[in-house]
Structures are given as structure tokens and as C-alpha cells.
Amino acid sequence: MTSAPRSILDFLRSSALAAAFATAAIGALFSTHLIRQLMGDAGYGAVITGLCVIGAGMLVARRRELRAFEIMPTTLLLLLIWLLLTVFWSRSVGATLGGWLQLAAPTFLAIVVAQFRDTLQTVRATGDVLRFLLTGSLAIEILSGILLDGPVPFLGIAGNLAEGGPIQGLFGTRTMLGLVTILALITFLVEWRTRSVAPGLSVYSVSLAVLLAVFTASPIVLGMAVIAGLATGVLAIVRRTPPHRRTALQWAIAGAFAIATILVFTFRRPLVYWLNAEPDFLTRSRLWNEVLDMAALRPVQGWGWVGTWPENLMPYYFIRVTTGRDHASALNAWMDVLLQAGAVGVALFVGFAGLALARAWVTASERRSTVYTWPPLVIITLLADSVVTSSLLGGFGWFLLVVCATRASLVRGWRSGLDTGPESPGWRAPRAPRD
């Protein structure tokens, strides 16, 4: 082999490229709205395609370090296969293939990151990206809402900072900014606890996330913050419980969660009034009724996976007309899966997300390092958000879910019990103490 190809292979195998790739992939997915507004869909597609090409090169260059059955969770593979099969009964083959690629691209990026970066390294990369984007969001809101006292239309910024919000930052909507701030807060606190960054930087990061979350003025963000806080407290209790009592406590928590879910559903209207979220709830309620009506026409297989709703395709066009709003999704990830992939898709999605959460939660309960708490808390936050938005089904939401699921599968899945002798990848052993 000549020196040039060898140099390229060495570069693709390098840890420096793996670190830069993780940061670039996370940055691109969290900056989706910003990139699309600046470069259009074609520019965003080029960025993601370029990252996928680099990731493929890394996988090929480091193929001897990998085992095929460790690439992704089996439940994720089955879900992706089913979503692709919906092309056979979809009303638009092109829309279905495009929608599937919108999910496959962040899946691929997440798999590459999960294979070559451990959990702590992923947390650090995520923290760096979110610090930068949230700082930029605050800066542009100050510029728009205070210095210029006017909106920035092409970024979707209303310039309401001086009035106390709501603000959107670089993420397009206050709900999306709110989700990012909750994920950032979890990430920054894990960084703080693991002493991954300087204490001063941790204080700044946490304060920034809290400040922006408050200025979103969103009841949905408040709900997600409460859920994330409760999950953090419960997980802290579980981690401090002696091992011989932990199983009983876990079952008690599961029962309490089931009861709480029933109570929230039963008293949902008073809860909506208390959160001052009635307008949002009414909009979603009307939309969900129409989605359920359309899903009932194809209950098993769905209408075909398209991701973001196309403009003039049934049944999405009909739902827009009947609701009188230009919806791009069902504003609920589970409703979207039911509508597009049917009951089979919902079952596979439940299996994938549920198994990922169970593995991540048990791992965090048993492992001493604080970094193990990041995957279950991130998954819980994403699942809480999935009830009121469909952001989990693409972009950074899906990316984080796949990363957490893949890492949990490597640590806790059936793969962890297989042979780890001399033929096993050598790269995973030195990372275990940090993970």
C-alpha cells in the first residue's frame, strides 16, 4: 500500500477524527433549523450526507474492531426494516423513501458515534455543542429583543426577550428550545458531577440552560422539567439503595409510575388548566382525533412512513383541511407512528424505546459512575416530549435515542454475555472504567 492510502486509513482510524466527527454530527443535528434557514434543505442534506460518507469511511477503516451483531440493537433493526417495507403500500414511493432516509441518516450517525465514543466522551461532545448553541441563542435574543427591538424573521425569532418571552433562540420554536434546554441541563449536570469541565464553566452552563428554559414561557417545558427532575430524584434513591433491596424498589417504582400515568390521564383536563396550556391542548386534541380517524382506516400497516408530512398527500392533506391548520406532524410521536406505520410500527417502537430505557435504567442503577445516569435521563426526557411533539422521530431527538439505546445494548444487552476473549475488539476495554 502506498503512503497516501495508508495516511488516509490512519486518519480515518484516529481518535482525533472520531472526536471531531462526534462533535460535528451532534452540532449539525442540533443546528438543523439554523442550517436550513441559512442554506436551505439542499445545504442541510449536503452536510448530513457528507457526515454519513465520513462515518462510512471510519467504519470501513476500523472494520476489524467491529462485530456485526454489535452494530445496533435488534429492535432498532426490526423497526427500520418495517418502516422501509411500508413503501409497498404507501401512496407515494418517493415520499416514503425520503421519510425513511430522514430517519436512517441520524441512525447511521448515532451508530458511528456509539461505536467509537464512550458515554462520557459523548456527553462531553454534546455539552460542548449545546453550550455553544445556547450561548448563541441568548446572544441573538438579546440582539433581537433588546438592542434592535425587532424580530429576526428568517430565524423565526420574535424578539420577545424584553417582555419576558416566549423566546425561540436558534431552534425555531419555544417548545424545541425548551426540549434542548432540558437535555442541556441534564448534560451539564452530568459534566459537573463527573468533573469533566471546570467548575466555573459548569456553573455558567447550568445557569444558561435554566435561564433560557424560563424565558421559553412554555407549560410543556415546565412539564418536562418536572418529569426529568422526578426521574433524577428516583434514580438517585435507587443508586443509593443496597443491592439486595433494589429489585423490590424497582418494582415499586414501576407500579407507582403506572398509577401516576393513570391519574394524569384521568385528571388531564384539570392539569391542563393548572398549567395554563388549554389552547395548546385543544389544538392537539382536535388534531389527534383526526389522526385516530385516519389511522383506523389502516390500523395494522399504516399509510406508509413519510416522516414530516408532505404537502399534498393523503391523508395528511385531509387532516390539514379538517383541522384548519398547516400541521407538519401529529404533534405526538406515537400518533405519528400509528398513522404512518400502523399497530405493528407502534409495537416495534415500544419494544425499541422500552428496552432501551430498561437497559439504561438498570445499568445506571448498578454502575457507580454518574455518567451512566445520562442515557436513562435523556431517554425519559425524549419520551416525555414525544407525548406533545414528534421531534423524537428525527434529527437530534432520534440521534440521542439511538446513541443511548446502542450504548445500553453494548453494556447490558445479550451481546455483553458473549465471548470477550482475544478476538473481541480491543478498543472497548480501556474505555470501560470511564464509561
Q: Per-residue confidence of the chain (435 residues) as pLDDT tens digits? A: 566 677 778 777 788 888 999 999 999 999 999 999 989 889 999 999 999 999 999 888 888 877 766 788 889 999 999 999 999 988 888 889 988 998 999 999 999 999 888 889 999 999 999 999 999 999 998 988 888 877 888 888 887 888 877 888 899 888 899 999 999 999 999 999 988 888 899 999 999 999 999 888 877 788 888 888 888 888 888 888 887 777 787 788 778 777 877 776 665 556 555 554 556 667 777 888 888 888 888 888 888 898 888 888 888 888 888 888 888 888 889 889 999 999 999 999 999 999 999 889 888 888 888 898 999 999 999 998 888 888 899 889 999 999 999 988 877 655 555 544 433 333 343 343 345
In the prediction, which pLDDT does 11 show? 76
In the prediction, which pLDDT does 22 show? 93
- How far, in Å, CA of 135 to CA of 139, rounded? 6
- Classify residue 368 by burial, with Cβ atoms within 10 Å: 0-12, 13-18, 19+: exposed
Structural domain contains residue 428: no
Same domain, 109 and 122: no
Same domain, 163 and 272: no
Same domain, 292 and 191: no
Domain boundary among 217, 249, 278: 217
In the prediction, which pLDDT does 428 show? 42
Same domain, 403 and 369: yes
Structural domain contains residue 276: yes
Same domain, 31 and 96: no
Structural domain contains residue 429: no
Q: Which residues pair with 157 in a beta bridge?
A: 152
Same domain, 211 and 86: no
Nearest to 229 by CA among 261, 181, 182: 182
Domain boundary among 148, 183, 217: 217
Structural domain contains residue 427: no
DSSP 144: I
Structural domain contains residue 44: yes
Rounding to the nearest 10 degrees, give the CA dihedral for residues 328, 331, 335, 338.
30
Give the number of domains in the chain: 3
Same domain, 243 and 103: yes
In the prediction, which pLDDT does 434 show? 41
Question: What Rg value do the Cα atoms of the chain yield, rounded?
Answer: 22
- How far, in Å, CA of 211 to CA of 220, rounded? 16
**Which amino acid, 324?**
G
Residue 267 backbone dihedrals phi, psi, to 5 degrees = -105, 35
Structural domain contains residue 435: no
Same domain, 275 and 338: yes
Residue 152 backbone dihedrals phi, psi, to 5 degrees = -120, 85
Structural domain contains residue 375: yes
- Classify residue 78 by burial, with Cβ atoms within 10 Å: 0-12, 13-18, 19+: middle
Same domain, 152 and 176: yes
Same domain, 394 and 260: yes
Question: Which are the contacts of 193, defined by CB distance < 8 A and separation ≥ 6?
Answer: 370
Cis peptide before 166 (omega within 30 of 0): yes
- How far, in Å, CA of 344 to CA of 83, rounded? 10
- How far, in Å, CA of 262 to CA of 271, rounded? 13
In the prediction, which pLDDT does 131 show? 95
Structural domain contains residue 423: no
Rounding to the nearest 10 degrees, give the CA dihedral for residues 359, 361, 364, 365.
-110
Query: Residue 41 is part of which domain span?
Result: 1-66
Distances (CA, A) of 9 to 5, 24, 302: 6, 20, 44
Same domain, 300 and 374: yes
- How far, in Å, CA of 61 to CA of 21, rounded? 14
Same domain, 228 and 206: no
Question: If DSSP codes are grouped into helix, strand and coil, which group holds residue 422?
Answer: coil
In the prediction, which pLDDT does 424 show? 39
Q: What is the pTM of this model?
A: 0.88
Is the Cα dihedral 158, 161, 163, 166 positive or negative?
positive
In the prediction, which pLDDT does 331 show? 85
Nearest to 196 by CA among 137, 119, 135: 119
Domain boundary among 187, 217, 247: 217
**Which amino acid, 40?**
G
Query: Both ends of the chain: CA-CA distance in Å?
Result: 36
